[in-house]
A and B are shown apart, each in its own frame.
Chain A
Amino acid sequence: GAVVSQHPSRVICKSGTSVKIECRSLDFQATTMFWYRQFPKQSLMLMATSNEGSKATYEQGVEKDKFLINHASLTLSTLTVTSAHPEDSSFYICSARPMEGGGWETQYFGPGTRLLVL
C-alpha cells in the first residue's frame, strides 16, 4: 500500500524556536497533502491543504504566518512551526492523496510528529 513518511517523529524544542516537519510520499506522487493537528483525546483537526506548486489553503483560525507550509515537489511537503510556544505542543500528522489511479480519494497518513515545546 501507499506509504507516507514524516520526519522527525518526535521533537522537543525551546519556546521561541522554529521547527520544520517533513512529509514525504514514498511510493506515489501526491498533488495534495494535508496537515492535521491532534490534541490528546481529540479528533484530527485539519490545519491546511497543501497543493504542489501553489500556496497552501489554511483553515479558519490557523495562522499562516506561524505555520508555514511549502509543497515544493509531488512527494514532499514541509510544515514549519515558527516561534513555537508551549501551546503549540501537539501531535502533527500529514496525509497525502495519490495523484491518480484507483483509490485517489483516499488519504494516506504519515506516522505523525509529536512536538513538545518547553
Chain B
Amino acid sequence: GQNIDQPTEMTATEGAIVQINCTYQTSGFNGLFWYQQHAGEAPTFLSYNVLDGLEEKGRFSSFLSRSKGYSYLLLKELQMKDSASYLCAAMDSNYQLIWGAGTKLIIKP
C-alpha cells in the first residue's frame, strides 16, 4: 500500500535549526511536496523535489533521496511564526498526492 510517515510533533528553539523527516512508499513516484499549514488555515506550498539532492530556498531547504524513499525539510534561523504543521506529500504514478499526517512544529523562545 501507499504510506507516508513523518513525526507527529517536534519542538525547537527560536534561532535554531530543525529537520523534519519524511519517508514514503508509493506506487510510482512523481515528486515530493512540502506544505506549511498554520492552525485554522489552508496549506501553503513550500517545496517540490523530483530529483535527488538538496533544494535551498531562503531559510527553508528540502532534500530528497529516491532510492531511500526519504525526504527532509530543513528550517534554519527559526522564527516564532514558523510554528505550524508541516505536511509531506508524495505524488504517485497517477499524479495523485499521498499525504502524511503532518508534523506539528512548536517553536519556543
Interface residue ranges, A against B (CB under 8 Å): 1, 34, 42-46, 49, 91, 93, 103, 105-112, 114
Contact = CB atoms under 8 A, between A and B. Distances in A.
Interface residues of B, number: 21
A10 to B, nearest CB: 10
Select the residue from B40, B45, B101 with max chain A CB neighbours within 10 A: B45
Nearest to B98: A46
B97 interface: yes
Nearest to B91: A105
Given A105-B30, A105-B31, A106-B33, A44 B45 contact: no
Given A105-B31, A109-B44, A111-B42, A46 B101 contact: no
Contacts, number: 44
Contacts of A112: 41-42
Contact of A105 (B41, B44, B48): B48
B48 A44 contact: no
Nearest to A57: B96
